[in-house]
Structure 1
Amino acid sequence: MLWSIISWIIVGGIAGWIASMIMKKNAQMGFVANVASGIIGAFVVGFLVSFFTEGGGMPDAWSIWGFVAAIIGACLLIWIVTAIRGRSKV
C-alpha cells in the first residue's frame, strides 16, 4: 500500500510536468504547482477509474494506462484551475 502511494506521487509529479507543457502553463505554474497538479490529478483519475471499472482497483502507477490517466487528470486539473483563476480576475 505504501509503495503504491509513493509510486503514484512519483508518476503524478512527472505527469504534472508533462501536462503543464501540454497545456502551455509550464513557465507560469512553477515546479511545485506542476508536481502538485500531477499528483492530485493522478489520484482523482485513479480513483475514478477504480470506481467505474469491474475490478475495483486503482490502475498500477507504473503501467502505461496509469501514466496516461495521471496526465489526463493533471490536464483536467490545470484546465479547471485556469478557468477559475480567469473568472476571478475579471
Structure 2
Amino acid sequence: MIIGIISWCVFGLIIGAIARFLMPGTQSMGLIMTILLGVVGSFTGGFISTLIFGGGDGAAMHPGGWIMSTIGACLVLFIASKMAASK
C-alpha cells in the first residue's frame, strides 16, 4: 500500500511538472500542489479518455495513460489559472 502511494506521488510529480512546463506563464505552486496537479490531471485525463473512447472495464473514473494524464493536468492548470485571474 505504501509503495502505491509513493508511486502515485512520483507519477503526479512528473505529470504535474510536465504540465507546468508546457503551460505558458508562471505558476506559483510548490511541490505538493504540483503532485496534486499531476494526480488530479491523471484522473481528468482518464475521464476524458472514457468519454472519447468508451470505458473498457465500466469504471467512470480511472487513471489515464501518460499522454492523457498530461493533457488532463494541462486542462486542470488552465482552468485553475483562469479562476485565479478572475478573482
When normalised by structure 2's length, the TM-score is 0.70
Q: 1:8 to 1:45 in 2, by over 3 A?
A: farther
Amino acid across the alignment from 1:68: I
For 2:69, the equivalent position in structure 1 comes to 70
Number of equivalenced pairs: 79
Whether the aligned pair in 1 keeps the contact of 2:13 and 2:31 (CA below 8 Å) is no
Q: Report the CA distance between 1:78 and its aligned residue.
A: 0.5
Measured against aligned partners, the alpha-carbon deviations of 1:6-50 in whole angstroms (never above 9, x if no partner) come to 565543331111111211445x21111111111001111112212
Q: 1:48 to 1:8 in 2, by over 3 A?
A: farther
Give the 5 Å matches for 1:74-85: 74-85=73-84
Unaligned 5+ residue runs, structure 1? Answer: none
* RMSD (CA atoms): 2.5
Whose helix fraction is larger, Structure 1's or Structure 2's? 1
For 1:30, the equivalent position in structure 2 comes to 30
d(CA) in 1 for partners of 2:66, 2:32: 19
Please give the secondary structure, in 1, of the residue aligned with 2:86.
helix
When normalised by structure 1's length, the TM-score is 0.68
Amino acid across the alignment from 1:49: S
d(CA) in 2 for partners of 1:50, 1:12: 20
Q: Report the CA distance between 1:54 and its aligned residue.
A: 4.2
Runs (4+) of structure 1 moved beyond 6 Å?
A: none
